[in-house]
C-alpha cells in the first residue's frame, strides 16, 4: 500500500525542501520506491538538491498541468545520488522526481492563469500507480492556496515544518486548523533551525501542548548545512552527523517503520 506524504510550512524559509529531500533519500535507502513532486510552483528548487541539471529537464510539472505531456514524461530518476549497490532489505531503492519549471515565463503563467486542480489530482494518483511507488512526497507551496489544499486532502500523512519563531507559530496554527477540518489521517510537526542553546525537550512539549499535535523531532541549526549550500543531500554527505540521526528518527515516525532507515 503506497502512502502520500505532504511536507508543508505556512511561511517560506523554514527549510521545507531540504527536509523533504533528506526524508526521501533516507526512505529510499531502506529499499523503498520514492517519488517527489515539487508543487511549490511559484518558487521551485528541490531539483537542485538532487543534482538535476536544467539541461536534463525537458518536461516539468507545469508542462503536465498544461497538457503538454503525460505525467510520467516529467519524471526524472535521481537514484544515482544514493550511491549504493544494495540496500538493507536486499533490493534497490529509488527516487523519482518531478520538478517544477524555474522559467520566469512559466511561473508568471501559473500565477496569471492557474491550472486545473483535478488534473494534478489525477496525475499524482497515476504517478503512484505507474511507478509502483511505496511513498510519494509532495513538497508544497508555503501558505494556504489551491495546490496546498489539494495536497492536504490527498495526504495520508501531513508533516508541518516550523521554526521556533512567533510568526511561524501563528501561521502553523492556521495550517493545523485547516488540516483538521480536512480530516488528514496523520499529522506531525517538525521543528527546524532550532538554536542548540534551546532546551529541546521543553520546546517539544510546549509545541505539542499548543497544537495538540505530536512533534516528530527537532532539527538544530548546524554549520555544515550552511557550508553545503544546497549542493547535495545532507544525510548522504554526512551519514554519521547528529543531524542525520535526528532526521532518520523523524523518517521512522513518518513511515511508521521500525527498521533501520539509513543502511550504509
The runs of H, that is alpha helices, within 81-239 are 104-113, 117-131, 146-154, 166-181, 200-211, 223-228, 234-237
The pLDDT of residue 94 is: 95
The pLDDT of residue 261 is: 41
C-alpha 145/C-alpha 6 separation (Å) is 14
Instruction: Give the mean model confidence (pLDDT) for residues 109-122.
Output: 86
Kind of pairing between the strands at 94-98 and 76-77: antiparallel
Matching residue, cell 543534482: 51
Tens of pLDDT, residue by residue over 3-60, are: 999 999 998 889 999 999 999 999 999 899 999 999 988 888 899 999 999 889 999 9
The pLDDT of residue 89 is: 47
Tens of pLDDT, residue by residue over 216-225, are: 999 999 999 9
> Domain ranges in the chain?
1-253
**pLDDT exceeds 70 at position 102:** yes
**pLDDT exceeds 70 at position 257:** no
C-alpha 224/C-alpha 245 separation (Å) is 14
The per-residue pLDDT of the chain, averaged, comes to 89
The pLDDT of residue 252 is: 93
C-alpha 261/C-alpha 3 separation (Å) is 17
Backbone angles phi, psi at 81, to 5 degrees: -70, -20
The pLDDT of residue 180 is: 93
Instruction: Give the mean model confidence (pLDDT) for residues 129-143.
Output: 93
Tens of pLDDT, residue by residue over 198-213, are: 999 999 999 999 999 9
The pLDDT of residue 154 is: 87
CB proximity list for 220: less than 8 A, separation 6 or greater: 193, 194, 195, 196, 200, 242, 243, 246
Cell of 78: 535521481
Tens of pLDDT, residue by residue over 141-185, are: 888 877 778 888 889 999 999 999 998 999 999 999 999 999 999
- Which of 50-54, 135-139, 242-246 bottoms out in mean pLDDT, i.e. has the lowest? 50-54
**pLDDT exceeds 60 at position 264:** no
> For the chain, what percent of residues have pLDDT higher than 70?
94
The pLDDT of residue 146 is: 73
Instruction: Give the mean model confidence (pLDDT) for residues 123-134.
Output: 94
Domain 1-253 matching CATH 3.40.50.300: the answer reads yes
The pLDDT of residue 85 is: 46
The pLDDT of residue 149 is: 83
Res. 86 pLDDT band, cuts 50 70 90: very low
**pLDDT exceeds 50 at position 78:** yes
- Greater model confidence, 197 or 84: 197
The pLDDT of residue 97 is: 97
Amino acid at each position: 500500500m503506497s502512502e502520500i506524504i505532504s511536507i508543508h510550512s505556512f511561511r517560506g524559509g523554514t527549510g521545507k525542501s531540504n527536509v523533504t529531500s533528506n526524508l526521501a533519500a533516507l526512505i529510499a535507502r531502506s529499499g523503498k520506491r520514492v517519488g517527489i513532486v515539487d508543487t511549490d510552483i511559484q518558487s521551485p528548487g528541490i531539483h537542485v538538491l538532487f543534482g538535476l541539471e536544467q539541461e536534463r529537464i525537458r518536461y516539468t510539472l507545469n508542462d503536465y498541468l498544461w497538457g503538454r505531456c503525460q505525467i510520467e514524461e516529467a519524471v526524472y530518476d535521481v537514484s544515482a545520488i544514493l550511491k549504493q549497490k544494495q540496500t538493507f532489505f536486499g533490493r534497490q531503492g529509488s527516487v523519482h522526481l518531478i520538478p517544477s519549471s524555474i522559467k520566469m515565463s512559466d511561473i508568471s503563467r501559473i500565477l496569471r492563469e492557474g491550472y486545473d486542480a483535478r488534473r494534478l489530482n489525477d496525475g499524482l494518483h497515476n504517478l503512484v500507480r505507474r511507478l509502483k511507488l511505496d511513498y510519494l512526497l509532495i513538497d508544497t507551496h508555503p501558505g494556504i492556496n489551491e495546490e496546498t489544499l489539494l495536497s492536504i486532502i490527498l495526504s495520508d500523512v501531513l508533516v508541518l515544518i516550523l521554526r521556533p519563531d512567533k510568526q511561524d507559530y501563528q501561521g502553523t496554527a492556521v495550517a493545523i486548523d485547516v488540516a483538521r477540518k480536512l480530516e488528514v489521517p496523520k499529522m506531525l510537526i517538525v521543528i527546524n533551525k532550532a538554536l542548540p542553546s534551546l532546551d529541546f525537550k521543553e520546546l517539544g512539549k510546549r509545541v505539542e501542548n499548543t497544537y495538540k499535535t505530536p512533534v516528530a523531532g527537532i532539527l538544530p541549526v548546524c554549520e555544515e548545512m550552511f557550508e553545503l549550500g544546497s549542493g547535495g543531500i545532507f544525510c548522504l554527505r554526512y551519514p554519521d552527523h547528529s543531524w542525520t540521526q535526528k532526521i532518520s528518527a523523524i523518517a521512522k515516525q513518518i513511515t511508521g517503520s521500525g527498521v533501520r532507515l539509513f543502511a550504509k
